[in-house]
Copies of this chain bind each other. A is one copy, B any other.
Amino acid sequence: MIRILGIDPGSQRTGIGVIDVAADGRCTYVHAQALKLLDAEDFPSRLGLLCEGLEAVLDQWQPQQVAIETVFMDKSATSALKLGHARGAALATVVRRRIPISEYAPRVIKQSLVGRGAADKQQIQHMVRLLLNLPEVKLQADAADALAVALTHAHMSATAARTGLSTALLRRRGA
């Protein structure tokens, strides 16, 4: 069994989702939450809250692998900068624990979960519930996105194991 932590970074809210992947590829829900960062008194403090919240999750759930979304670059420089801060704080927290990190483009996550790269948020939520057997659990959007990237990593790793292709190659292909 492998435990995967998915992160959907944001400077207002950061989604976190933890799943377990069995040897047969079956995925089980472990934990999901959205870290709310807007209550911090200033922007640096938001990043502090993000790191503290993430470390608490790493301590409690001890994931062996981490998956995180890359940034969809159809953004303004200002929003890219803010998102970069959140993502940088999250990556630094994970990498310092020597946990391997895999990055997936939004398009690849959608392709992996819904079968096409242009899926909307509702479809992603729907597939996350279906794959993790969570029909009635209320999932915040950021938490669902974090579970989605964790599931994508689980699928990519299984495909890599089956085909002998590296996950890096599969990510590029959007397989």
- Whether the pair B95, A44 counts as a contact (CB closer than 8 A) is yes
**Interface presence of A84 (CB below 8 A):** yes
In the bound complex, residues from chain B placing their C-beta under 8 Å from that of A85 are 84-85, 87-88, 91
Cα separation A45 to B96 with both chains bound (whole Å)? 8
- Whether the pair B96, A51 counts as a contact (CB closer than 8 A) is yes
In the bound complex, residues from chain B placing their C-beta under 8 Å from that of A71 are 81
In the bound complex, residues from chain B placing their C-beta under 8 Å from that of A83 are 81, 84
Interface of chain A residues 80 through 130 with chain B (CB within 8 A) = 80-89, 91-96, 101
- Whether the pair B73, A84 counts as a contact (CB closer than 8 A) is no
**Interface presence of A60 (CB below 8 A):** no
Contact of A80 (CB < 8 Å), options: B48, B80, B89, B92:
B80
- List 8 other contacts, CB 8 Å, given A84-B84, A85-B87: A44-B95, A47-B92, A50-B92, A73-B77, A77-B80, A81-B83, A86-B88, A89-B92
